[in-house]
Amino acid sequence: MIVTVTLNAAIDRTLLVPNFQLGQRHRASEGTTSAGGKGINVARAARRLGVPVVCTGLAGGRTGTLLVEELTNEGILNDFVRIRGESRTSTAVLDPTSNVYTEINEWGPEVADDELDVLREKLTYLSQGAAYVVFAGSLPRDVDPGLYAELIREANRRGLMTVLDSEGEALRLGIEAEPYLVAPNLREAESLVGHEFVDEEDLSNALDEIAELGARNVIITLDAGCYARFREERSDDVRVRARAPRLEAISTVGAGDTLLAAFIAARMNDRSYEDAVRSAVAASAASVLEAGPGKFDIREAQRLASHVALDRLEPVRQDA
């Protein structure tokens, strides 16, 4: 089973507004509401792949109640800690004519220490039957940025495969706790190593730099693929670059979350690293053809898998 942890979960409100222009009055052609947050997106994609998964995290107020109801209506198992603060709402405007996506995210609730204690207890209970625990998304305001690191160390002690997908200081500190896998996007990876990537050599080098920070395995997700390095055993060192076929995207929101879910699902089915990356990139590509994070057609993902270009990479040699 996979347990996903979403500490700053939200209700995502997405409006389709053709020819959207700032400062103008518009009428949305369509609107959707769903439970959101990176961990929830991962869970949604994993469930679509037939992997047992349960969501946990923090949910408060009327928004938190709606969030849990939405998950339950989707058939996604969940067990959230109810908190006193109000969970956040995220509003997005998607212009289908230009495919421009504008997102406005609230900060999220304040969380008390006793509520975090309940979360720790719940996570220990839920993860008893788990293989993977995925910590994903931002932290609520004023929460110690070292919280992910604390939770990862505890899960590592219990022999769980810990996965981290966050940003900023929470990501950096979390990597120092030596998670099994870390999956930053391009911008997050650049922030981790402290410089922009100008070519493929920079991306390949970044795999090493991020691994040196503490992560055993690294996937850097891109708009159309990924770079990855895997070290299941310290003697093994598998490096790959994967490119998805060119597609006319409807929405790229949550594509990285789908990639992460599909990779974990493939590894749980004992598929090789190369096969898992190919499957993950194909699922991510299929997800951009549908509006809504974590949603994709499995048959389309299977069809696209044969069109994913996968190359083995050699370690980048540093000049003496």
Q: What is the pLDDT of residue 265?
A: 97
Residue 135 and residue 8 in contact, taking contact as beta carbons nearer than 8 Å: no
Other C-beta atoms closer than 10 Å to the C-beta of 158 total: 12
What does residue 205 show for φ and ψ, rounded to 5 degrees? -65, -35
Tell me the pLDDT of the chain averaged across its residues: 93
Helix (H) or strand (E) holding 58: strand 53-60
CB 315 within 8 A of CB 276: no
What is d(CA 63, CA 87) in angstroms, rounded to the nearest whole number? 6
| SS3 state of residue 224 | coil
Helix or strand holding residue 102 (H, E): strand 100-105
Q: Give yes or no for residue 220 having a pLDDT over 50.
A: yes
The yes-or-no verdict on residue 4 having pLDDT over 70 is yes
CA 251, CA 236: separation in Å to the nearest integer?
36
* Residue 276: CA count within 13 A, CB half-sphere: 21
Cα–Cα distance measured from residue 230 to residue 277, given in angstroms and rounded to the nearest whole number = 11
- Residue showing tokens 């998964």: 53
Separation of alpha carbons 208 and 216, rounded Å: 10
What is the rounded distance in angstroms from the CA atom of residue 258 to the CA atom of residue 46? 8
Task: Give per-residue pLDDT as tens, 16-67.
Answer: 899 998 898 998 888 888 999 999 999 999 999 999 999 999 999 999 999 9
Report the C-alpha gap between 273 and 61 in whole angstroms. Answer: 42
DSSP 185: B
CATH class of 2-312: alpha beta
Please tell me the distance from the alpha carbon of residue 117 to that of residue 115, in angstroms, as a whole number: 5
pLDDT at 185 over 90: yes
CA pair distance 119, 200, nearest whole angstrom: 40
- Judged by phi (left if over 0) then psi (alpha if -120 to 50, else beta), residue 73 lies in alpha
pLDDT cut 90: percent of the chain above it = 76
140, 7 Cβ separation under 8 angstroms:
yes
- Ordered by start, the domain boundaries in the chain are 2-312
Residue 286 banded pLDDT, cuts 50, 70, 90: very high
Backbone angles phi, psi at 183, to 5 degrees: -135, 70
What is the reported pTM?
0.92
Find all residues with CB under 8 Å of 20, minimum gap 6, and list them.
Answer: 26, 93, 95, 98, 100, 102
Is the predicted pLDDT of residue 280 greater than 50, yes or no?
Answer: yes
CA distance 285 to 314: 25
Three-class SS state of 15:
strand
Rounded to whole angstroms, the Cα distance separating 194 from 257 reads 24
DSSP 244: P
Phi, psi of 216 (to 5 degrees): -75, -45
- Determine the 3-state secondary structure of 276 from DSSP: helix
Model confidence pLDDT, tens digit, residues 140-177: 989 999 999 999 999 999 999 999 999 999 999 999 99
